[in-house]
Amino acid sequence: MIDTNDNFTDEEFDDTPLIALDKDLRDAAALLPQQQAQFLVDTYYKFQHDRIQQGNQIASSYEEPNLVLQYLFGEMKRLESFAKSALDRYTDKRPVSQRLKRIHGIGPVLSAGFLAHLDINQAASAGAFVDFAGYNTGAVWLGSDAAKTIVLAVLDTALGGEGVNRAVTHEEMIEMAKRMGACPKWLARRVYRIFYQGDGYKEADAAFNIAMKTARAAEKESLDNPLASRAERKQAKIDFMAAKRAAMRDRAETKKSAKVFLPQFGFDAQVSDEVYVGAVLKGIKPKVKTIIDAVSVRPWNPSLKTILWKMTDVMRRQSNNPKCFYGQLYRKFKLEQVAKNEAGLLASEAERRLKKGRIKSAEQKTVYQGGKLPDSHVDARAMHEMGAIFLSHLWEIMYEQEYGKKPPAPYAIAILGHKDYIPPPV
């Protein structure tokens, strides 16, 4: 029988062995670009999910699995091992991920996932990482209708009104961000990208359409020629497909070059939202539709949020191990959350959850109605708090590596005078 008793969903319990890569593959894995590293992390988890699902289906069968299924299951495990080995090589060549892998519970896949999704050059503070991972509890995914309402309300106009075509001020942009619960700097960067990518993408599509029109005309001319031989007609079709592939490559390259990398306007914790947003918007006049598109987008990265959840779940499971730093933090936060819940200090959160609706369990609804949070919600709050601390530590580690110095003190400590600073474990 096939051994399928490894239904893990995280890295700590992943007994997938690393496999030896030849020199060419080792070198290629070490040089993975950031976007392709993201793809490889996603591919690894897809391999893992498919392999577990296949194993469960085989285990639930009363019959001995056919040799074909055994072979397929083995190949799925091999692909999973290969992806993990490539990510291990990728992280070995990067100082930040080397430090991350020294943390109990974090291996090559999780460290590669964080490294592939986060860029210190786009984060003025640890709060930017928290926002991007979806751990800002005030952030809301509005959608197009709610975004349109917010934008037009701030501009004090309506679609078709005179105010639609005027320039948006940085004060209005900051107010929009405040109403959607997002970072003003993030919203300004989003508007900037959409504004420039719109023009770049239109240019790429226009050039593609012209190239295709020319190629179709050349093919039609050959096919319509009554004197053309069969070989000439076949060559005309081959030439058309070659022209089509070339046009598609050119379009992809043009769109790739249209990706905007914002100039650095002084990524410093002391740069105000007004100065930053004003610098980003200087010289561009985005249309209202561009603003609405930026406001309506999901204000966090779902893949990063999933990876962070996997990490916090690993730490929760390992919280009995004294070597697990973040697991110990989770236990500490859990005790604090339980005490707050028993004292009725989370009644406002229970009320908010009731207003939000979609509570499937009648038992949980009764707990919420009593002004308390159910155990699962209390547990999630502790994991959330621990995840936010990890992101702040990761920001510090990446800042030190990028700039060769300690980062400025967090706002809560430097300005508000808090004393409960928790340094990174590595």
Rounded distance between C-alpha atoms, residue 172 and residue 44, angstroms: 43
Nearest to 298, CA basis, from 177, 142, 183: 142
Token couple for 223: 């096919």
Q: What is the pTM of this model?
A: 0.72
The per-residue pLDDT of the chain, averaged, comes to 82
Place 269 in a pLDDT band, splitting at 50, 70 and 90. very low
pLDDT of residue 166: 66
Among 128-142, 168-182, 264-278, 282-296, whose mean pLDDT is lowest?
A: 264-278
Residues 6+ apart with CB under 8 A from 302: 134
pLDDT of residue 23: 77
Among 147-156, 250-259, 310-319, 371-380, whose mean pLDDT is lowest?
A: 250-259
Asked if residues 296 and 142 have their Cβ atoms less than 8 Å apart, the reply is yes
Rounded distance between C-alpha atoms, residue 200 and residue 130, angstroms: 30
Rounded distance between C-alpha atoms, residue 248 and residue 337, angstroms: 55
Among 85-89, 233-237, 396-400, 409-413, whose mean pLDDT is lowest?
A: 409-413
pLDDT of residue 6: 41
Place 7 in a pLDDT band, splitting at 50, 70 and 90. very low
Among 24-33, 109-118, 260-269, 398-407, whose mean pLDDT is lowest?
A: 260-269
Place 3 in a pLDDT band, splitting at 50, 70 and 90. very low
- For 280-307, the pLDDT digits (tens) are 777 677 777 778 888 888 878 888 999 9
Asked if residues 63 and 102 have their Cβ atoms less than 8 Å apart, the reply is no
- For 196-232, the pLDDT digits (tens) are 766 667 777 888 889 899 989 988 888 888 888 888 8
Please say if the pLDDT value at position 15 is more than 70.
no
Distances (CA, A) of 108 to 98, 159, 380: 9, 50, 25
